[in-house]
Amino acid sequence: MTGASQGAVTLDKISKRYGRAHAIREVSLDVAPGRFVTLLGPSGSGKTTTLMAIAGFVQPSSGRILMNGADITRLPPNRRDLGMVFQHYALFPNMTVAQNVAYPLKVRRRPAEEIARRVRAALEMVKLEDFGDRAPVKLSGGQQQRVALARAIVFRPDVLLMDEPLGALDKNLRDHMQTEIRRIHRQLGATVFYVTHDQDEALSMSDVVVVMRDGAIAQIGAPEELYERPATAFVAKFIGGANVLAGASEGGQGGRALLRHGSGQPILAPAGEVSGRAEIAVRPERIGLGLPDPARGETGLSATLTEVTYGGAVTRIAAEAGGEEIAAVLPRAHVADLPEPGAAIALKWAADDAVLLHPEAEH
Ligand code: ADP
Ligand code: MG
């Protein structure tokens, strides 16, 4: 049994084909020990396949997987010593909670005294120390998932794999379990690969987020980096729901490129060098009401208000310009002060708050 100071994982261009279809293509990733890495993407983007390749249940068609520098691509799953938790907890129904948690240690033929000690520690970590004698069916969904988590960490793996572990839980329980999983990650120090299609979950839990699309990595970065500097329209929209505005380049103005928006209006891009058509992303909360002041680096669009939605802490509005929908989140707007849908409104934002996007790679 190793300590959790290990757990470096490298994926070196792993691909998996089923017939002619690619489940994943040339996925490369370098993960330092102890990181919390989330694979985020829509359904079918290759998250589970990537995780199963790390686990050893899927054999890559090409590429290598290294753990602590050693090539484990051909190693069977039971010799990889990884902890695993899936969406459906798959506890053994005929065993007690404690027996479930003890199982990985039994398989590893650890002495009875050590098993008892480690099972107790694992159940304490998931706050189920008083539930050892219960049958799994007598527990709630959240409790069962915590048993599954205890079973995955009981042998102190260097690497913990979790595939949508909270997907079957309701929102309150999910929020609570997110906090618990982060706490356990801190205590354990293991490298975690966490799969989700929920961007909020990815942003709030991870050190590193890997955004996947069509079996390939769309972007890798810290949560803030992905939110502030999305590389493509896909990442910008998938994380945080950005407005993506397109326009044709029309020279520059004050060191910034000028784009002719579909509505015919000029908007300032955040950068100077743009050729041909370009896309920029603007976050809804960076957009305000009013005419832009170019002297202060602001730009904007005149638009038609289409919808006002009261949301408590914020008010959301939707507007339309040149056939594109633009969403804005207004933290201090009173619904009563806003015009009716159908009215003309002016939207503004700081040009530097927008991000110039790269064209999408096509497969
Ligand atoms: P995700 O977990 O992101 O939803 P998956 O990794 O499960 O995505 O699947 C990625 C793609 O590979 C999907 O198009 C899926 O249909 C395909 N795929 C996954 N497993 C198999 C399989 N055993 N046989 C054929 N196609 C598969
Ligand atoms: Mg999946």
Question: Cα torsion for 59, 61, 67, 69, to the nearest 10°?
Answer: 150
Residue nearest ligand 1's atom 23 by CA: 18
Q: How far is the CA of 48 from the centre of ligand 2 (A)?
A: 4
**For residue 86, which ligand has an atom nearest its CA?**
2
Name the one residue in this structure whose structure tokens are 């527990």.
139
Q: Which residues on neighbouring strands pair with residue 12, listed in sequence order?
A: 64
Around ligand 1, the residues with Cβ closer than 6 Å are: 18, 21, 23, 41, 43-49
| Phi-psi map region of 61: left, alpha, beta (phi>0 left; psi -120 to 50 alpha) | alpha
Residue nearest ligand 1's atom 25 by CA: 18
Residue nearest ligand 1's atom 5 by CA: 46
Q: How far is the CA of 14 from the centre of ligand 2 (A)?
A: 17
Q: How far is the CA of 131 from the centre of ligand 2 (A)?
A: 30
**For residue 41, which ligand has an atom nearest its CA?**
1
- Contact between 189 and 5 under an 8 Å Cβ cutoff? The reply is yes
Q: Both tokens of residue 203?
A: 């942003």
Alpha helices in the chain (DSSP H): 47-55, 97-107, 112-125, 141-153, 171-188, 199-205, 223-228, 233-238
**For residue 52, which ligand has an atom nearest its CA?**
1
Give the β-pairing of 243-253 and 9-18: unpaired
- Contact between 33 and 157 under an 8 Å Cβ cutoff? The reply is no
Q: Which atom of ligand 1 is nearest to the CA of 195?
A: 2
- Contact between 363 and 26 under an 8 Å Cβ cutoff? The reply is no
The stretches in the chain having pLDDT less than 50 are 1-4
What element of type H or E holds 183? helix 171-188
- Contact between 14 and 60 under an 8 Å Cβ cutoff? The reply is yes
Q: How far is the CA of 166 from the centre of ligand 1 (A)?
A: 20
**For residue 16, which ligand has an atom nearest its CA?**
1
From 18, 162, 214, mutation site for ligand 1 pocket: most ligand atoms within 8 A of C-beta: 18
Residue nearest ligand 1's atom 18 by CA: 23
Q: How far is the CA of 53 from the centre of ligand 2 (A)?
A: 12
Give the whole-angstrom CA distance, residue 194 versus residue 163.
6
DSSP state of 341: T
Residue nearest ligand 1's atom 7 by CA: 48
Give the whole-angstrom CA distance, residue 149 versus residue 100.
11
Q: How far is the CA of 149 from the centre of ligand 1 (A)?
A: 24
Q: What would the 3-class secondary structure string for 144-168 be?
A: HHHHHHHHHHCCCCCEEEEECCCCC
**Which residues crowd ion ligand 2, with CB under 5 Å?**
48
Give the β-pairing of 159-163 and 191-196: parallel
Short-list 311, 357, 303, CA closest to 334: 311
Short-list 291, 303, 286, 275, CA closest to 243: 286
Q: Which atom of ligand 1 is nearest to the CA of 50?
A: 6
Q: How far is the CA of 33 from the centre of ligand 2 (A)?
A: 24
Residue nearest ligand 1's atom 19 by CA: 23
Give the whole-angstrom CA distance, residue 51 versus residue 313.
38
Q: How far is the CA of 49 from the centre of ligand 1 (A)?
A: 6
From 45, 49, 195, 214, mutation site for ligand 1 pocket: most ligand atoms within 8 A of C-beta: 49
Query: Quick one: pLDDT at residue 201?
Result: 94
Q: Which residues on neighbouring strands pair with residue 118, listed in sequence order?
A: none
